[in-house]
Amino acid sequence: MRRVRRSLGTIYCTNNPGRLTNPAVADLSGGGSQVQVNVQGAGAIIEIPPFVIALLILLFIVQFAVLGFFLIRGKMRRARSPVILRPGGSVEIPLVAAFGGWKGVPWISMTDSNLAPLLVLHQTDFEYRVIRLKRRPYTDISNVDLRTTIGTVNIVLEFHNSMRNFAGNTANKENARKALDILASKGCPLSARARAFVSGAHQI
């Protein structure tokens, strides 16, 4: 009876259970012809030199560092960018990140994005994006708040009949002030903190 055994990635083939053929070449046809077995198949043990492993780790670290550098540079560029005037009188507020959280629970978000955050203030409605683009009328806004910390200037929009909110990090106090001015002019209620921020900015 022909038996084929696989051990540590090497295939052995024999017609005699007590005798194994050459592990690299096995008689698989029974007619005397020999077929070379590829020992690099599934389950084979491949020895990788230590310097190759070290090189792969180094390449991964360099790639990660380069990606982080470009992300940080992009954030800094958006933070320094002034508000963008669009055709029709719309105003885009540059954001470095956007978050979707819960009303009344600051600094905790369920979703976030720094790839394509968006806040655009149109004449009668506004657009915003964390993951998906949404467009709503200003009358949906129940409260506009402002939250700041090191490197963060969040405009927080809360909505009627919803426990979710939207927070856009401008990382720029001047852009945040302009956004709050526009939202206030549209009839959106500002929190005491947001009103104090706008009033202080106007007094400077």
State the pTM of this model: 0.62
The amino acid present at 148, given as its one-letter code, is T
- pLDDT score, position 34: 42
Q: What is the residue-level pLDDT of the chain in tens, covering all 204 positions?
A: 444 444 444 444 444 444 444 444 444 444 444 444 444 455 566 777 887 788 888 887 877 676 655 556 555 666 578 899 998 899 999 999 999 999 888 888 889 888 889 999 999 999 999 999 999 999 999 999 999 998 899 999 999 999 999 999 999 999 999 999 999 999 999 999 999 999 885 543
Phi-psi region of 57 (alpha: psi -120 to 50; beta: other; left: phi over 0): alpha
116 to each of 27, 75, 97, 107, how far by Cα in Å?
Answer: 61, 11, 8, 20
Residues 6+ apart with CB under 8 A from 193: 145, 146, 147
Instruction: Identify whether the C-beta of residue 141 lies closer than 8 Å to the C-beta of residue 183.
Output: yes
104 to each of 1, 90, 107, 156, how far by Cα in Å?
Answer: 76, 29, 10, 10
- pLDDT score, position 75: 56
- pLDDT score, position 46: 72
Residues 6+ apart with CB under 8 A from 190: 143, 144, 145, 180, 183, 184, 198
CA distance 52 to 188: 60
CA distance 91 to 51: 54
Q: Are strands 141-149 and 133-137 parallel, antiparallel or unpaired?
A: unpaired
- pLDDT score, position 66: 67
62 to each of 65, 74, 75, 117, 135, how far by Cα in Å?
Answer: 5, 18, 20, 27, 40
CA dihedral 166, 170, 175, 176 (to 10 degrees): 50
